[in-house]
Every structure is written in C-alpha cells, then in structure tokens.
Structure 1
Amino acid sequence: MPVETIFFLVLGAAAGGFINGLSGTGTALFALGFYLVVLDPVTAVAIVALMSVVAGVQGLWVVRASIFDHPKRLLRFVLPGLVGVPVGIWLLSGLDTAVLRFGVAGFLILYGGYFAFRRALPAFTRRTPVIDAAIGGIGGVLGGAAGMSGALPSMWMSLRPWTKFETRAVLQPFNMVMLTTTVVLLYWRGAYEGALPALAITIPSGLLAAQVGIYVFRRLSDTGFRRILILLCLAMGVGILLSELT
C-alpha cells in the first residue's frame, strides 16, 4: 500500500476516532474527507461506518450506567430509527438526496450558528416521548436516505439540559444501531471485499484516537458538552454543504 494512502487513512481515522470518543457522533463528517482522497466512495463509507461501530463500543462502556438508568428513553429513539432506515433506503429511488442534504445542512447551520455563541443555552426540560420517537424515526430515514442519521438527534439532544452522560447514553447507542444496520447492508452489497488492508490501518488508529476523545469528554462539564454538540451541529451543516457544493 502506498505511503500516501496510509497517511490519509491514519489522518481520517485519527480525526473520526477522536470526535467519536469526544461526542459519540460525527465520525463520518471528520473522517470521510480524508478517505475519499485515496479510496472509492463505497469503500470509504463502508470503512467509516465499521470504524464508527468498533470505536463506539468504547464510548458505550463509558456511559453504560446511564444507559441502564434510562432504557425507555433510549428505546423511544432507537426503535423508530430502525423502522426509519429501510424507509429512507426505499425513498432513495424517488428522492433528490442533494436537495435533502442541502435542506438539512441549512437547518443545522442556522441552528448551530444561532446557539453556538449565546451565553444562555436552551433548556427544554419537560418529557416529550412523542417528539423523541419522531426525532428517532426521522433520524433513521435521513440515515437510510442520505447517511445523516445523527444530525437531527444531535440537535434535539443539545436542547435538553441532561447531563453529558445522559445525553451520550442516548446519542451513542442510537448512532451505533443505525451504523450497524448500515454496515450489514453494505456487507451484503460486497462493499468490504478487498477492504481488509485499509481496515487493518484505520481500526487500530481509530480506537486509539477515540481513547483520546473519551479522555477529553470525561473532563468536560455538562454545559461544555452541550456546547460541543451545538458546535458539532454547525460543523456538520457546513461539512454537508461543502460536500454537496464540491
């Protein structure tokens, strides 16, 4: 394997793994740009998805207590999301995904730009089981249709004044389930044929970088973590917009 390919694979794994360890989402946003320089799009997406799942196991372990403290809250997002993924894939045939991605990008940029630099963060405290289920379902549809399952849940959870562990105990498992579904579907399509050398580089690098991200996560305050999520929404919006324009 050429040195240039190894270099970009390690950079992508380091960037994606770190953000996975820090926030539990956003891996593809930070890794995919590096991978696409040296890999074809299908292989790049397949490797990012698998790396996200493998690195995400470490994040799940960090918030395991909070997951078991609020299992019903998690299921309100995950179960509708699982229904939404095949719906999104089915919509692919008649949907202009570019228009969809532009719309979501604009929404994320407006939201992230508005709240990122405000002194007071929003504090939506009351229980909203129906809205939670809707957010999970739409996240699944967006994941199946355009690979953006984490965008809407990230935005919604940054509005909630939950602790950083409570927030991540929903966001990370949700993304893990959606991405595992994606990995299975890509495997059936043969996307991992010939990908073993790249995986041998990206998986260890991603795992190590995720540990650095988890180290930073543990030292963030609850408010600091919410601000990270809001800034990540802004970054996701800009990243999606740039990917469509280029």
Structure 2
Amino acid sequence: MSNDTILMVVLGAAAGGFINGLAGFGTALFALGFFLTVMTPPQAVAVVVVLSVASGLQGLWIVRHAIFDNPRRMARFLGPGIIGIPLGIAALYIIDAATLKLVIAAFLLIYGGFFSLRRALPKFERPTPFIDMTVGFAGGILGGAASLSGALPTMWCSMRPWPKAETRAVLQPFNVAILGLTAVMLWWQGTYSREVLINLAIALPATMISAQIGISVFRRLSDDLFRRLLISMCLLSGIILMIRALT
C-alpha cells in the first residue's frame, strides 16, 4: 500500500469522523470523496459503514440520558426505519439509484438553501407521531436503496425545537442502527476482504480521534446554533451529493 493511499484513507476517515462527532451523521458524505480515489465503491462503502457505526457509538454515549428520557420518540423513527431497509434493497431492482440520489440532493439543496437564508427557524412544537414514523420508514428505504438513511430524518428533526441532545438522541441511534445492519449485510455478502480490513484498520484510529474532536465542538454549541448547523449540513450535503451524482 502506497503512502498516497494511506494518506487518502486517513484524511477521509478524519473528515468523516469529525462531522459525525459534530452533527451525528454525515460520515459517508465527507469520507467517500477521499476513499473512492483509492478504493472500489463496494470497498469504500464497506469501510464507511463501519466507521459510521464506530464514531456513532461515541456520539450515543454523550446523549444516552436523552435517549432513555424519551425512548418512544426514538423508537417511532427507528422501528419503521428497520422495516424500510429490505424494501429499499428490493427497490434497487426497480428504481435507478443515481436518479434517486439526484432527487434527494435537490430536496436537500432547496430545504437547506431556503432555511439558511431565514432568520427565524421553523418550529413544529406539537407531537407528530405519524409524521415521525413516516420519516423513519422513508429513511430506512433510502438507506437500503441509496445509503441515504439520514437525509430525511435530519431535515425533519431540524424543524423541531428540541434541545440539541434530544435531536441527536433521535438521529444518532437511527443512523447507527441502520448502518450497523448494512454492515452486517455487507459482511454476509463477503465484502470484507483482506484489503478492506487493512483499510479499515488504518481508518479507525483517525475516525475515533476526529469524532472526539467533533463531539467536543458539539458540546459548546447552543441549541439554536445546532439546529442551524443541521440546516447548513443539509445544504452542504445536497451540494456534495449533487456533484457526485452528476459526475
């Protein structure tokens, strides 16, 4: 393995780990650009999902109290999301994944761009269990079909005036569970070859350290600033996704 390959793996792992520690999602969006220069797409995805789970588990620990304080809210997203995963995988044979990514990128750009320019953020304060379950279910389908499980839950949660710990107590378990199941499926399919495991061994330390730095920044954010961060992340994610889908 060349030094250039090691550098790309470490840089991708560090970028993905930091953003996951900061926002609770986004590892794939920020790491794949580096990984795909030195790995095949299946190898890159196999590494990313493990890094997402590993850095996500650190994030789970800092919001564990918020998770236990309101487990029903998290379950409303996660339960339907798990059900949606196999439907998303089945949809791969019907729907063009590239087209789906373009559609989701457009939604992220419109949503992130619109609310980034507004001074007042949207506030849906009343309980919306049916919408929560629908968003979770759709997130599971998108996770299985295009590895975009966090897109819709992030958009929806950023419109709720929840404290940052409560918002993360939904997003982090959702992404860890969905991507953890994805990693198991990839392992079952034999994706974790010797080369993938070597890349994973190089990437894991960088991700774990960078995630801690991201978590440290997260602790210093106010609730309102964290909501704005999520909206900005939607905009940036849409730009990155659109570029990748078109190129």
TM-score range, shorter chain: over 0.9
Deviations 1:138-160 (A, max 9, x none): 00000001110000000000000
d(CA) in 2 for partners of 1:66, 1:237: 29
Structure-2 residue corresponding to 1:118:
118
Unaligned runs of 5+ in 1: none
What secondary structure, in the 3-state scheme, does the structure 2 residue paired with 1:192 have?
coil
Q: CA RMSD of the aligned region, Å? A: 0.6
**Counterparts of 1:49-128 in structure 2 under 5 Å?**
49-128=49-128
Can you list the C-alpha shifts for 1:183-209, whole angstroms capped at 9, x where unaligned? 001101111111121111100100000
Alignment of 1:1-246 (within 5 A): 1-194=1-194, 195-246=196-247
Pairwise CA distance, 1:94: 1.1
Q: Secondary structure at the match of 1:37?
A: coil
Single out whichever of 186-195 and 215-224 deviates more from structure 2: 186-195
Runs (4+) of structure 1 exceeding 6 A deviation are none
User: CA separation in 2, counterparts of 1:5 and 1:89?
Assistant: 31
1:75, 1:92 → 2: CA distance? 26
Question: Per the alignment, in what secondary structure is the counterpart of residue 94 of structure 1?
Answer: coil
| Structure 2: distance between partners of 1:145 and 1:136 | 14
Alpha-carbon distance in structure 2 between the residues aligned to 1:165 and 1:115:
21
Query: Equivalents in 2 of 1:79, 1:85: separation in Å?
Result: 11
Structure 2: tracts of 5 or more residues without a match: none
Counterpart residue type for residue 241 of structure 2: I
TM-score (norm 1): 0.99
C-alpha distance in structure 1 between counterparts of 2:102 and 2:22, whole Å: 26
What is the identity, as a one-letter code, of the residue corresponding to 2:165? Answer: F
Identity %: 57
Mapped to 2, the partners of 1:28 and 1:100 lie a distance apart of 17
